[in-house]
Structure 1
Amino acid sequence: MHFFIIINVFFLIILTIIVNKNVTTGFDEKVLAWFDSIESLTLNSFLILITWLGSLWILLPTLAGITIGLLFYGYRMAAIVFNIGFIGAVSTTYIMKSLIERPRPELFENITTMPYDSSYPSAHTTQAFAFALMLSLLVYSLDTTFKTSLASLFLSFAVMVGISRMYLQVHFPSDVIAGVLIASIWTGIVIYLINLGVLR
C-alpha cells in the first residue's frame, strides 16, 4: 500500500509542477471547449444539482450523521478512519489552494456562481472522492450486503461531481485530476495505518 501512496504523491507533485508551468493549458482548454459544446438546459439543471450534492454543505452534515451512527453502534475505529480520510483529504486540498492560487477558468461562460477561492485542486472533486472511497472502505469492512454495488454507486457519484465541475466551467480538468489524486492518497494512508495496526 505504501507503493500506491508514493505513486499517487509522485503524480500529484508532477501534475502540480506542470500546472504551475502552464503545460496542461492545451489539454485543459480542449476539454472545457468540449463541455461547452454539449451544454443544454437539462444538463445544466442536473449537473448543478450534482455539484451541490458534492459540496461541504451536504457532505459535512452527512459525515456527522455517519460518525454518530458508527459511534452509537460501537464502531469507534471505523468512525475515526472515516474522519481521518475525509478531513485529511479536504484539508490538504485547501492548503494547496492557498499555496498555488491558480485562477479559475475564464474561457467560456460559467453556468453557476464562480467560487472565490483558487482553482487548483478541485475541492468538490476531492470531497466527493474522499467521501466515496471512505464509504466504500466502510461497506467492505462491515461486510455489508451488496458491497460491490454500493461502492460502485458511491464512486459513480464522485465521478459525476468531478464532471460537473468541468461542465459548469468552474474548474480545469487538471484541477479535477489533482482532487482525485489527493483523495486516493488519503485513502491509501488510512489503509496503510489499518494494516500497520495503528488504526484497528
Structure 2
Amino acid sequence: MTVPQAADAARRARISARVMFLVVVGALLAVVAFAVHSTVEVYEAVAAGDGIETLDQPVLRAAIDVRSPGLTDLAVTLTALAGRIGTPVLGLVALGLFTWRRRDWTPTVLLVTGLLGSLCLTVLGKRLTDRARPPRQFMLPPYETSPSFPSGHTLNTTVLAVIVGYLVLITARHLLARWAVVGVCTVGPMGVGMSRIYLGAHWSTDVIAGLLVGSAWAFSVVLAHRVWLQVRRRERLDASAGTTPELDGGGATAAPVVPST
C-alpha cells in the first residue's frame, strides 16, 4: 500500500468511526430521553392519584385472580433473585465471568457504577414519593414495609440486565450466544416486575417507573462508555497518522511512518 493510499484509508476509517459513533450516541440518547420523559409522566400520574384509579387497582385485581401455588413459587423465586442478596450475588458472578473473559477493567467499572447508581436512585425515589404499598391483605410473603415507588427490585434488575447484555454484545463472539443472553436480559426485568405486582408488593406504576428509570440510568452508563471508547479510538488514530511529510536535503519528500494493519 502506497503512502497516499494509507493516508486515504486512515481518513476513511476516521470518518466511518465518527459516523458510527454519532449513530450509536443518537440512538442511546433517544432511548434515555424517552425513558426520562415517560418516567416523569408516570410520576405525575402517581402524584395526582390517577395511576391508582386508572391502572394500578385493575392490574392488582387481575394478578390476584390468577394466583396459584406454582405461580406463587415462581414469583417468590424471582423476587429472591432480584432482592438485596440476589442482585449483588448475580452482579458478582457476572463481574467474575466478564473479568476472566476480557482481562480488563471494563466490567468492573460498568457494573459497579451501574449498580451503585441504581441503589441511589431507588433510595432517592422512595424518599421523594413516600408512596404507600398496596394494602397488606392483598400481599403475599415476603412482606415489604418500605415506600412503594419506584420498585427497587425492578429498577436494580433492569440496570444489571442492560449492562450485562451490553457486555455480552461487545465480548461474545458467537451470534447465537449474544442474542440468547440479550433475550434473557430483556425478559428478566419484566418477569421480576410482574412478580412484584403478583405478590402484591407493588402497584403497577411502581414497576413501570422501575423499568424506565433503570433503563435510563443503564443506557446512560453505556453511553458514557461509548463516548470514552470513541475518545480512545480518536487518540489512537491520531497517534497512528504518522509524522508530517517534510523535505529532505535533496528536495524529496520523506515518507511518513505508516503503522502496519
Structure-2-length-normalised TM-score: 0.71
Once the two structures are superposed, the pairs formed by residues 178-193 of structure 1 within 5 Å of their partners are: 178-193=209-224
Query: Identity percentage over the alignment?
Result: 21
Q: Which amino acid aligns with 1:36?
A: I
| Partner of residue 170, structure 1 | 201
| Partner of residue 161, structure 1 | 192
1:3 aligns with 2:30: yes
| Partner of residue 18, structure 2 | none
Q: For 1:66 and 1:194, how far apart are their aligned partners in 2? A: 18
| Partner of residue 114, structure 2 | 85
Once the two structures are superposed, the pairs formed by residues 123-134 of structure 1 within 5 Å of their partners are: 123-134=152-163
| Partner of residue 131, structure 2 | 102
Q: CA deviation at 1:191?
A: 2.2
Q: For 2:58 and 2:31, how far apart are their aligned partners in 1? A: 30
| Partner of residue 255, structure 2 | none
| Partner of residue 148, structure 1 | 179
| Partner of residue 14, structure 1 | 41
Q: Which amino acid aligns with 1:140?
A: L
After superposition, the C-alpha distances for 1:11-59 in whole angstroms (9 at most, x for unaligned) are 1112111101101112100000000111111211121111111112011
After superposition, the C-alpha distances for 1:149-177 in whole angstroms (9 at most, x for unaligned) are 11111222221111100000010000000
> 1:104 touches 1:118 (CA, 8 Å); kept in 2?
yes
Q: For 1:152 and 1:174, how far apart are their aligned partners in 2? A: 24
Q: For 2:208 and 2:67, how far apart are their aligned partners in 1? A: 22
> 1:29 touches 1:107 (CA, 8 Å); kept in 2?
no
Q: Which amino acid aligns with 2:56?
A: D
Secondary structure (helix, strand or coil) at the match of 1:189 reads helix
Q: For 1:14 and 1:71, how far apart are their aligned partners in 2? A: 38
Q: Which amino acid aligns with 2:52?
A: T
Segments of structure 1 that go 5 or more residues without pairing to the other structure are: none
| Partner of residue 120, structure 1 | 149
Alignment CA distance shift 1:28-1:15 (3 Å):
same
Once the two structures are superposed, the pairs formed by residues 48-63 of structure 1 within 5 Å of their partners are: 48-63=76-91
> 1:47 touches 1:164 (CA, 8 Å); kept in 2?
yes
Q: Which amino acid aligns with 2:207?
A: V
* Structure whose alpha-carbon radius of gyration is higher: 2
Q: Which amino acid aligns with 2:212?
A: L
Q: For 1:49 and 1:143, how far apart are their aligned partners in 2? A: 28
| Partner of residue 21, structure 2 | none
Secondary structure (helix, strand or coil) at the match of 2:216 reads helix
> 1:101 touches 1:118 (CA, 8 Å); kept in 2?
yes
Q: For 2:107 and 2:180, how far apart are their aligned partners in 1? A: 20
Q: How many residues align?
A: 200
Segments of structure 2 that go 5 or more residues without pairing to the other structure are: 1-27, 233-261
> 2:94 touches 2:164 (CA, 8 Å); kept in 1?
no
Of 33, 44, 51, 2:72 maps to 44
